[in-house]
Amino acid sequence: MTEADPNGVCGKVVAITGAGRGIGAATARLLAARGAPVVLGSRGEQALASTADAIMANGGQVAYQRIDVTRPEDLSALVDLAVQRFGRLDVLASIAGVAINAQLKSGELDDWNQMIDVNLRGVLHGIAAALPIFRSQGAGHFITVGSTAAAKWVPGQAVYAATKSAVRALCDVLRQELAPEGLRCTLVTPGFTDTDFISSTRDPGELAALTARRDAIAMSPEVVADAIVFAVAQPNSVDVGEIVVRPTVQP
């Protein structure tokens, strides 16, 4: 953070997973506009390149590469790219996630495992990759996107809610363990957001219900990006443990 930067963002190097679209892309654009060099990772190479091109067109500093958060080596490569390109890593924003809504009676074991692999193991892979860098620097900030599904459980979201509940527990324990070293951990918990969140749901009834709800109440990904940037902007002496942001009408 520089003295001339009232937002506390300029110059902070931020790596972002799930950066090709939705909350990840919105966060990347906003951080870059505030002067943060951003390092983007996502499975969708075309969307990732499009996000990076938009940032470069606006004068932002950006590096990117295709990653799959279920592969630990890909997270290590993303962290390495940040250090090689910009000399350090200040923030790892774990935003990649997947939701495949269906009641448990569907027995879709592959879908359950995919959510566990992306939503939980993907976060753990990021921690394993970035924590040694943060400890060697004596500074660093984990930001993880959770979900209000961790606090309100509804039919059709059992496994998704279970993964996000696990992430919530993980982040709070991580915060406690890192505090003595001056490292930070923030959980950003959004409610219904207008992203591709519902696109993996195949059950017609679930998809219809989610689509109707999205069209009625969903907030924009830029709202969640604002919350993430707020946490990033805080001085190293301040750790924002959790931010919950949801549409006003969402119960």
Residues annotated as part of the active site: 160
Helix/strand/coil percentages in the chain, nearest 5: 50, 15, 35
Closest to 17 (Cα-Cα) out of 58, 65, 60, 61:
65
Q: In which residue are the tokens 């997947």 written?
A: 98
> Among candidates 35, 39, 41, 40, which has minimal Cα distance to 12?
35
Q: Which two tokens stand for residue 193?
A: 């957001």
Count of alpha carbons within 13 Å of 104, Cβ hemisphere only? 7
Q: How many CB atoms lie within 10 A of CB 76?
A: 17
Distance CA(100)–CA(103), nearest Å, equals 10
| Amino acid residing at 223 | V
Are the C-beta atoms of 123 and 170 separated by less than 8 Å?
A: yes
Distance in angstroms (rounded) separating the CA atoms of residues 130 and 128: 6
Which residues are CB-neighbours of 94 under 8 A, at least 6 positions away? 17, 18, 69, 122, 123, 126, 142, 143, 144, 145
